[in-house]
Amino acid sequence: MARSSARSASPMPVPPRPRRTFGDVMKALLAVVALLALVLGVPFGLIQVGRPVPDGPPGEWLSSAIDAETLIRILMLVVWIAWAQFTACVLVEVKAAVSGVGLPARVPGAGPSQLLARQLVAAVLLLGATAASFTPGISGFGQQAPDTHRPTVAAAQQTPGGLVGGRQQNAADALARQAEQIARQADTGGSHQQGTKFYRIQPPEGRHHDSLWEIAQRHLDDGRRYKEIYALNKDRVQPDGSRLSEASLIRPGWIMEMPADAHGGELVETPGTNPELSKGQQQEIDAYAKDGQDGRGGQAGQGGHEQQRPAARDGDTTTGHFTVPAHHEHAAGHTATPPAGEEVAAPASHTPGLPEALLGAPLLAAGLLAALGRRRRAALWQAATAVAGRRRGMELPTPSGDEADVQDALFAGADPGAVRFLDRALRSLARSLAAEGRPLPLVYAAWLGTDELHLQLAEPAGPPPAPWTHGEDETFWRLEGREVPVPAVDPDSADEPADEEPQAAPYPGLVSLGAQDGSRLLLNLEAVPGLVSLAGAPADRQAVLSSVAAELATNGWSDRMTVTLVGFGADLVPLAPSRLRPLDDVAALLDVMEAETASRRAGLGAAGADSVLTGRTGPAHQAGWAAHLVLLAAEPDAEQAARLAELAHDAARLGIGYLVGAGPDQLPGAAWEMEITSEGRLLAPLLGLELDAQLLPAPQHAAVARLFAAADAFGGGGGDDDPAGPAVAHRPPFLVDISERGRPSVYARLVGRYELMGLDAPDDERGPLLREALALLLLHREGVHPRVLASALWPRGAGDDVREATVARLRDWLGTGEDGTPRLREDATGRLVLDASVVSDLDVLRSLYHEATSGRGADDRAVRGRLLTDALGLVRGPLLAERPAGRYGWLAHEIVDAQLPLLVADIGLALAAFHLERDRAPQAAEALERALVSAGTDERLWNELLRAVHATGDAPRLRALASAFATRSGARGLPPRTAALLDELLPGAAASDEAGTA
């Protein structure tokens, strides 16, 4: 340790500054001569020639004929104006170069003149003592600048696809240097030792601006160490009074403290003698060093106080090729006023038990939640229609452990409104452009904010259609507000007119990568002109790839697509079997993609389309235009990487995207390069991106897969030997005592209109909120996490204090039972659970049906009939009928809205069968009609009702029922089984009813 400390106490000396050569001196002298000639010689010569304006009043010489003398005077006036402009440029550049602080002011309309003035002033300053350290590019005047002072691709290039190649770093060496630096910092304890090094941010040269990445590249030999520079200087006061708050926002004239092993001639060291610095510059650096020492000794950088963000300047929002729209910066220091009556969303705090990765991924969570709901509804229907010996009942298995935590995180983190907004916005844009006869622009990325959407185009595409407007510049199209004038077309909607073609999703390859400055970045993988590489530890790369795969499989803004998973994700296939396709290795992928690439090229040529983007939204609407996105977790070898690069060369035109979990060393042909860090940051320095990455870590990946697998197992209706059998028993999760002894102390009617008995009505305006919270708890007898409760009541977000106050208010309202036990308590996992004395009619309904089919009624026919009749007597309509508008939105995610109709249908069918056993057809028909009140779309009830009415011999009633069912079926017509049944009971009735409906 002593050895390390000694090394840290004696930092690496700064290499001697290069001596001025004879050539440098000659260049400086020539520059002096040129400046004297231009600044002093030009006006002297012009004065000798004469005045540019003739004598006499202006009216005379303005109205006189134009002759040779007049032309000469006009040229003299132009030269005087040019001289004045150049002189102003010289003065501005001299002031900026001598002060060394700030960016030189721009003289209007003086681009070439100011550039010439800057070069001449820089050359002259070679004769001074301050030039070498603070004037950019002086040592390279008249020659090519070293590569280490430039990125590998010109910053002026607008397409990220142009970023091919670049500086390749040896990963092992870079990690070793980082480890050495971390150890050195640990040994020194972060204290300032004698000989601290500093760097002053240089003014821009042409279109090249200094950046922390390039500073780290030049002086630390690894651009990825820019975070060390940022950590040393974050929130410290700069000479102009502002502070460094974001790594991508630095300004000329700022001072950066450097790590101890920094090297290079542009660095200065303090305390110490720095003859190349002026007195003022030395004082600025000394003050900056003292501020850093005071900050480390006090509270700076440790949360002791909140730093004020500096005022925005030109270029502050630009972060390279991808740009965060400027209006999103309000997220750092401005809170929008919420609509009246809504709670203000507070920053989300960590909640034990719920995975933060899903809580912070609203689009992914919404997609997974919607897909899981669809899968469970399908499983319920499959279970309901299975043969009697293989049925599992109406209760899906209740998740527990990691699955319960993941399910709660999906409920709490999902933002279905954002998904709808994104989908409608993109489809309406495609529809508007098609109406104008314009092609879709190529979109590289989308930035999704709270109430706005920005599309970042590859190149300007003209004026956007209303209500879209231009954003930061012509490469941004902006849409404000969540309401899109043209409604989205749902391809699966039963109400869609048959003669209207659904609008295809224009950008199905958009996928969330993470968040920056309050906005979520969606990268269009389909538009990347080549491979996208993802470097980082294998587990971190896997978390990114799993997130991308899960969102692509379940997102709501895509139609048809294929997502090929290589080397991972076979357990994710149940999320979307029609989209996801797993492959074992890269060799299998190459065989598949070479054939598909050739097929797509031939298809585009035959169709006369220049790209899949135009073909997808044009008149063809061919299946071949669907996006195909490839996610590789298996690293290719050199030969495979070369073949992949060749395939991806034309991928953007063909609608194919590649995301490869390999670093640039393993994938040298990557167009875009990204890196995921162990801290969950997604970095793409050459693209200007540094995001809080969206991840699906391995535990959540496995839990999500198990949730979908459990739904599939339930719907499969396996027998007793099915591995899923023990997890999906017939018994509902909560049964009540249906005898007289089991009378509840609080009773709620949820099947039909919401009514409460046994509780005093809340006496304030919060009553509707408390009633809604109680309904949610009654539908989840297993317990509700407080975060889930809050997200259900306040979909736009609520703070911890609001949530806790509401739970306390709800607990007080429910009160205690006869034994003094609170009716609302928390279980061992922190979930809110209702006491067994608080019961709903849905609980009673389930308990009656269970007792009738699996309890006493199973062996006693009379008991079964009485229990089924009592159960059907509880059916008064759909779940929570007549609920207030704008509330109970969480029911859209609940499976109970599918469980209740199936349960009621089962009760009605069982009671009808009970009556038909005794030839009581009218009573059977009455039971079936009562069940249709809550299960009006169940084909089984309609078919049994037709049979029961036919058994009564009432032909007019039978015809009326057939006509009513045909009307309800709409344009789709009667279901095949019902049509066949009507042909048997009423020959010709099915055809006539369908003809009348048409």
pLDDT in tens, 243-255: 786 665 677 888 9
Please determine, for residue 911, whether its predicted confidence score (pLDDT) is greater than 90.
yes
pLDDT tens profile 36-66:
888 888 888 877 777 666 665 655 555 666 6
Cα–chain center distance at 515: 6
Alpha-carbon separation of residue 107 from 86, 156, 987 (angstroms): 9, 21, 91
Least confident of 640-644, 695-699, 824-828, 980-984: 980-984
- Which of left, alpha, beta for 758 (phi over 0: left; psi -120 to 50: alpha)? left
pLDDT value, residue 191 = 40
d(CA 626, CA 610): 15
* Residue 212: pLDDT band with limits 50, 70, 90: confident
User: In Å, what is the CA distance from 699 to each residue of 165, 354, 695?
Assistant: 35, 12, 11
Rounded to whole angstroms, the maximal C-alpha distance in the chain is 127
| 672-676 and 531-535 strand pairing | parallel
985: enclosing H helix or E strand: helix 976-985
Is residue 943 over pLDDT 80? yes
User: Which among 710, 682, 144, 630 has a CA at the least distance from the CA of 403?
Assistant: 710
Candidates 949, 982, 853, 843; CA nearest to 907 is 853
Q: Which of 160-169, 417-426, 455-464, 718-727 has the weakest average pLDDT?
A: 160-169
Q: What is the mean pLDDT of the chain?
A: 76
State the Rg of the chain over Cα: 37
In this predicted structure, the answer to whether residue 216 has a pLDDT above a threshold of 90 is: no
Q: Which two tokens stand for residue 378?
A: 């399908």
Separation CA 634–CA 712 (nearest Å): 28
Confidence band for 272, pLDDT divided at 50, 70 and 90: low
The answer to whether residues 868 and 928 touch, using CB atoms and an 8 Å cutoff, is no
- pLDDT tens digits for range 683-729: 988 788 899 999 999 999 999 999 998 888 876 644 444 434 433 33
**What is the distance between the alpha carbons of residues 757 and 754, in angstroms, rounded to a whole number?**
10
Q: Which amino acid is at 688?
A: G
Asked if 612 contacts 599 with a C-beta cutoff of 8 angstroms, the reply is: no
Range in 21-25, 411-415, 788-792 with the lowest mean pLDDT: 21-25
Other C-beta atoms closer than 10 Å to the C-beta of 683 total 23
Taking 50 as the threshold, does the pLDDT of residue 737 lie above it?
A: yes
User: Is the predicted pLDDT of residue 676 greater than 90, yes or no?
Assistant: yes
Each residue of 483-510: pLDDT tens digit?
Answer: 675 544 444 443 444 344 567 888 999 9
Evaluate if residue 471 carries a pLDDT over 80: yes
Give the E-state strand segments of 33-82 in sequence order. none
What pLDDT, on a 0 to 100 scale, did the predictor assign at position 101? 45
And the tokens for 924?
A: 């059977």
**pLDDT of 977-994, one tens digit each?**
888 888 888 776 555 555
Residue whose pair of structure tokens reads 């909120």 in the numeric block = 769
| Strand-strand pairing, 746-749 and 838-840 | parallel
What's the pTM value of the predicted model, to 2 decimals? Answer: 0.64
What's the mean pLDDT in 963-989? 78
Got the DSSP string for 822-862?
BSEEE-TTS-EEE-TTEEEHHHHHHHHHHHHHHSGGGT-HH
Is 891 buried (19+), middle (13-18) or exposed (0-12) by CB count in 10 A?
A: middle
Q: Does the pLDDT value for residue 832 go beyond 90? A: yes
For residue 354, the SS3 value is coil
pLDDT in the model for residue 674: 92
Please compute the mean of the pLDDT values over residues 735-757 and round it to a whole number: 88
Calculate the dihedral angle through the C-alpha atoms of 329, 330, 332, 333, rounding to the nearest 10 degrees: 140
Q: If you average pLDDT over each of 160-169, 408-417, 662-671, 733-742, which comes out highest?
A: 408-417
Whole-angstrom distance, CA of residue 118 vs CA of residue 371 = 61
Per-residue pLDDT tens for 150-162? 333 323 333 333 3
List C-alpha distances in Å: 161 to 526, 530, 563: 12, 7, 22
Listed range (104-108, 329-333, 388-392) with the worst mean pLDDT: 329-333
